[in-house]
Amino acid sequence: MDRQNSITINNNTAKLLWTGGWDSTFRLLQLLLEDKKPVQPIYIISRFRKSSDHELKVMENIRELLTERGVQNLLRPTAYFYGHEIKIDNDILKAWEKINTKRHLGDQYLWLASFCKHYRLEKLELSIQARDIKDGISETLAYNLQESRITPDYKAVFKYFSLPILNLTKREMREIAQEKDWMDIMELTWFCHHPIYHPTKGRVACGICNPCRIAVSEGFGHKIPLVLRHSGKYLKKIYNSSLMSHFK
């Protein structure tokens, strides 16, 4: 893994935050296989992200399949940066804190925006997708980032990003991937933040973290072992309960 401390990219190259997950990999395939556009992947290494090793391996495996598709010359080596070295920008922090007084916004967007501002990056492609739900749609991030609804505080955080799949759900992405014959690559993707060890399968999705529960709710839980797939929502409630607060 070669680490880069700066990014120099011409205007024809897409800058993509790639994690090996479903959404960012789908966007990667759109850029490479449909648009035939060169891509500079960017990956932020977090000391607190237990899935990082697995994500890095997944991205290696996806690169191998993309070589077979003949687009390896368009896919640049991934630029790696360390999350703990990103200095949080005060203006972005203030906007992020205001948003969190009304609804939860993950701190990853705080340091990603600060990262972009520090490196003077514009239009970093961020793969936020529409949620395939009816109840509580107004609470989803994609809903609040729609151009007709976005507030000044959201703009202060997200003005550094391009959001190319904001109106696509995972189900719609799967339909497109099936039509384009991309599913062999998409099936390699990873979403769990806290993988656990299985005695026969190695590392598997936990079924408890937010990405796992979202995957189950949107019909993508097949990568989670059956027992964890069904028990995860109850285990999550126990973990989030006051009974567990003393052990966190």
How does pLDDT run across 184-237, given as a tens digit for each residue? 999 999 878 777 777 767 678 887 787 788 778 777 777 777 777 666 555 555
Reported as a single tens digit per residue, the pLDDT across 161-173 is: 999 999 999 999 9
Buried b (16+ CB within 10 A) or exposed e, 159-168: ebbbbbbbeb
Q: Tokens for 30, please give them.
A: 């759109």
Computed over every residue of the chain, the mean pLDDT equals 85
Residue 123: which region, alpha, beta or left (left: phi > 0; alpha: psi -120 to 50)?
A: left
pLDDT bucket at 31, cuts 50 / 70 / 90: very high
The CA-to-CA distance between both ends of the chain, in Å, stands at 32
- Decide if 213 contacts 219 (C-beta within 8 A): no
User: Any bridge partners for residue 17, and if so which?
Assistant: 42
* Strand residues in 63-175 grouped as ranges (E): 79-82, 124-125, 161-162
**∠202-203-208 over CA atoms, to 5°?**
140
89 DSSP 8-state letter? P
Distance CA 6, CA 8 (A): 7
Which whole number is the average pLDDT over 21-32?
97
Distance CA 150, CA 15 (A): 23
Check residue 188 and give its pLDDT. 93
Distance CA 124, CA 127 (A): 10
Give residue limits of the domains in the chain. Answer: 14-162, 192-247
